[in-house]
Structure 1
Amino acid sequence: MKFAFTEMQGAVRAVVGREQGLGVLLCGAQASSPPWQVAEALAELIGLAYEGLSEARPWFGLAERLRQLLGAFNVTITLHHSEDQPRDVQVMALDADDRTDWDLAEQVSRERFWHIELVRPESVAPGTLIEFGPGDVEGDCAAFMVSLGIGRCLRGCFAEPGGMRCWIDVVRGLRLSGQAFAAEERALLAQLLPHLSRSLGLYARLKREEAEKAVYEGSLDHLALGCLLLDGHARVLCANRAARAIIARQVGIEIRQGRLQVEERGAQQALEAAVAKVLQARNGPGERVRLQARDGTLLGILVAPVPPAPYYQGEQVPSVIVHLCELSQCEAASQVPRAHSPELLGQLFGLTRQEARLAAWLATGRTISEAAGQMNIAVTAARNYSKNIYAKLGIKGQTDLVRLMCRSVALLR
């Protein structure tokens, strides 16, 4: 640990000597009033608090502006803190000249000074502030803070109802001689905390919904049915894996310039008319279109409306879902779907390798004879395997097998 502490001291910015710095900090300089009005600064920061939801580094703009307003060399927002993890998840706004290795600083702090209550974030309750500096902690920790150039730290906590708790640290450097934060500065951060809590609640809700969306999109990808989501201008917003595979297999149908395009003019007009009708109606069962690819494969399309959201309008609002399937088999589509792989079916249903292979073919709608031909086995052998399959699964025949496959996690691939 001595090595880590020495290395840390070598990584910090140039600051005053240990004894000199401690002497200044322990004396505690008087705070001076900031050159701004609390109301005006607060209004600006509130805007940044809500804009921060959409930033790649959440609330970085707010952290940087707060750093400038309060004359800090470092403002850190801790988004996730855990005793079990080696590092916190943080967004940090730094002085342009800062060359400190803050990852190493956190490591040393956790290893050497985590027993000190002021050092640990969870010592601050939601909606409250604390201020501390080297003069408020024990000797080694004080020296460590001075080596990092830390004069004073103003820390606040904000939380949301779902349990997410975050902290914001405003760190003032030694160049201000350890000057305490003025009453106006403390008031500014105190009045900002409720808005950060509300913003955090929105952020947490958005992230939860994004996670749910990813799960649903993943489930959609497992379907053998192709699905494309269109906006109000018939532009493709997304397509699941099955839709992309069908389009890739077929000649004369593609997604071009963000739109689903069919080579045959009459088919394209029928598709466009169906989409236009659904967009106008925005309800009902949808419109059906049957297309024929250049290789003769028949494609069935159901164009259905997405239920409108009355308070959500815009160019990229999901408006139409296009379901796409192959009504006749092409060579590529006739292969066993990966969802019905023998290995997966064998694991799920306790089938032997040959039984699982046969079940995979039967689940695609093949007859016993067709499946036997694909497997290069006798029809009588296939019939015996099928009896074993039905007995193991407790079903009566192929129809029940297909139904079981459609209801089981065998669809997940």
Structure 2
Amino acid sequence: MAAEPVVLLRRPVTQVPGASVALLPELIGLVYEGLNETIPWFGLAERLRHALAARNVTVTLHHSDDRPSDVQVMSVEPHDDTDWLLAERIYRERFTHIELLDPESVLPGDILVFGPRDVEPDCADFMRSFEVASCLRTCFAEPGGMRCWVDVVRGHKAPEQGFSSSDVELIRNLLSHLFRALGLYARLQRQEAERSIYEGCLDHLVLGCLLLDGEGRLLCVNRAARAIIGKHPGIELSHGRMQLQDRATQRALDAAIASAIAARAWEGAAYRGELVRLQAQDGVLLGMLAAPAPLLDYYQGRHVPSVIIYLSELTENQAMQPVPRGFPAELIAQLLDLTRQEARLSALLACGQTISEAAGEMGIAVTAARNYSKNIYAKLGIKGQTDLVRILCKSFALLR
């Protein structure tokens, strides 16, 4: 839990009776709603800009020395053509030696108020060139180490150029909620990163996954599934569902989905799902498995993940190739301690080619290819092509 915020006022604030009590609940709501926004906390930045009569309110999610600009969510006045990214770049190049302007010097919970009169002359001229009259800055953090900043900039046209005690009190009352919300945001981002990693693994294995809710409607579809569906006529994603042109197969799939939804309620029941086969219009055989999604504590309802459909091409050549030819031979050579030519031959043999076909594609004599194959089998301690296919199938996930 964050400590009580420390207010470091570099400029005196005007005493205004009656802090913005009525506005606080709305802002607190925007703090937590910001977790679900496409641009996190943009709604909060917008509302703060209006409430505090500011030219600019920026939520900085990440400061980095190796980036030309920070990761920022910014709300500015309509028709404001100020290049705020340029302003940031200039101050980082010329003025971060001033402790007051270094975001890293603001500890989580601090509130800083300052203006041109609080900095050295060159910096003051810089602030005035961007018509900056007064700034308020605060910092909040989460246990994992992520730190964020809120900057409120007022211009000379503001009714009150400085910040009042009620303005500071409003920010102070928001800070505890910003701390909590950032912890939730960091956890969600970590989970999203894990999901992307696992989805990438499934895509690499050419395994399509479709996640459905309790009404059988699509929640998400991985890239592999979209690629498979996009290639074959007679199957498409439409109106939030998987649609099959073959009516008999559609009925079988719908029944399998309904069974998976029903089975999900049998907590602890051993139900692996139902298999459905589809002969696509291009002749390719597709296999589908509709299985119940795991039950999650404290997360139930009609629109939670309820069914997983695994989708795979069974007779397509691409799906049968454990090592696509696009993989550099160096990867196979490095993993199995083979020469480049031996690695190329291994990939071709694992894809089902004969020695003669592989030799022709490599542009070498059949006798040379046979010698390479003997070297491969001897190095790997295997008997023949079947064992080689087995090894490369097991190595597929590593050859990316």
Instruction: Give the TM-score range, shorter chain.
Output: 0.7 to 0.9
1:286 match: 273
The Cα of 1:117 is off from its aligned counterpart by 0.8
1:371 match: 354
1:183 equivalent among 165, 182, 198: 165
1:222 equivalent among 185, 204, 213: 204
Change (3 A) 1:281 1:48: same
The Cα of 1:232 is off from its aligned counterpart by 2.5
The Cα of 1:307 is off from its aligned counterpart by 0.6
CA deviation profile, 1:10-43 (whole Å, cap 9, x unmatched) = xxxxxxxxxxxxxxxxxx8872526x64332221
| Aligned 8 A contact 1:229 1:238 in 2 | yes
CA deviation profile, 1:244-268 (whole Å, cap 9, x unmatched) = 4544555544444443334333333
The Cα of 1:299 is off from its aligned counterpart by 3.9
Change (3 A) 1:250 1:128: closer
CA deviation profile, 1:352-401 (whole Å, cap 9, x unmatched) = 4553344224434x4xxx52253256887655433322333344554543
Change (3 A) 1:157 1:375: same
**2:178 is aligned with 1:196:** yes
Question: How far apart, in 1, do the equivalents of 2:388 and 2:121 lie?
Answer: 74
RMSD: 3.2
SS in 1 for 2:22: helix
2:112 equivalent among 108, 113, 130: 130
Q: How does 1:93-112 map to 2 (within 5 A)?
A: 93-96=75-78, 98-112=80-94
Question: How far apart, in 1, do the equivalents of 2:216 and 2:100 lie?
Answer: 57
| Aligned 8 A contact 1:342 1:356 in 2 | no
Q: Which has the higher helix share?
A: 1
Change (3 A) 1:109 1:312: same
2:142 match: 160
Question: How far apart, in 2, do the equivalents of 1:141 and 1:248 lie?
Answer: 57
The Cα of 1:180 is off from its aligned counterpart by 3.7
1:391 equivalent among 374, 378, 384: 378
2:6 match: none
| Aligned 8 A contact 1:228 1:239 in 2 | yes
SS in 2 for 1:212: helix
| Aligned 8 A contact 2:327 2:399 in 1 | no
Amino acid at match of 2:358: M
Normalising to structure 1: TM-score of the pair?
A: 0.79
Question: How far apart, in 2, do the equivalents of 1:61 and 1:228 lie?
Answer: 32
| Further displaced range: 218-227 or 310-319 | 310-319
Amino acid at match of 1:208: R
**2:324 is aligned with 1:338:** yes
Q: How does 1:115-126 map to 2 (within 5 A)?
A: 115-126=97-108
| Aligned 8 A contact 1:336 1:361 in 2 | no
The Cα of 1:118 is off from its aligned counterpart by 0.6
SS in 2 for 1:91: strand
Q: How does 1:222-261 map to 2 (within 5 A)?
A: 222-248=204-230, 250-261=232-243
| Aligned 8 A contact 1:67 1:170 in 2 | yes
Normalising to structure 2: TM-score of the pair?
A: 0.82
CA deviation profile, 1:156-206 (whole Å, cap 9, x unmatched) = 111111111111122222235875422222111111111111111111111
1:33 match: 16
| Aligned 8 A contact 2:323 2:393 in 1 | no
Change (3 A) 1:360 1:207: same
| Aligned 8 A contact 2:257 2:290 in 1 | yes
| Aligned 8 A contact 1:74 1:172 in 2 | yes
Question: How far apart, in 1, do the equivalents of 2:139 and 2:390 lie?
Answer: 53
Q: How many residue pairs end up in the alignment?
A: 380
2:58 match: 76
Identity %: 60
Change (3 A) 1:265 1:201: same
1:42 equivalent among 2, 5, 24: 24
Question: How far apart, in 2, do the equivalents of 1:59 and 1:276 lie?
Answer: 39
Question: How far apart, in 2, do the equivalents of 1:340 and 1:141 lie?
Answer: 55
| Further displaced range: 262-271 or 170-179 | 170-179
Change (3 A) 1:30 1:233: closer
2:307 match: 320
| Further displaced range: 216-225 or 141-150 | 141-150
| Aligned 8 A contact 1:340 1:410 in 2 | no
2:124 equivalent among 142, 151, 160: 142
| Aligned 8 A contact 1:301 1:322 in 2 | yes
| Aligned 8 A contact 2:322 2:392 in 1 | no
The Cα of 1:240 is off from its aligned counterpart by 4.2
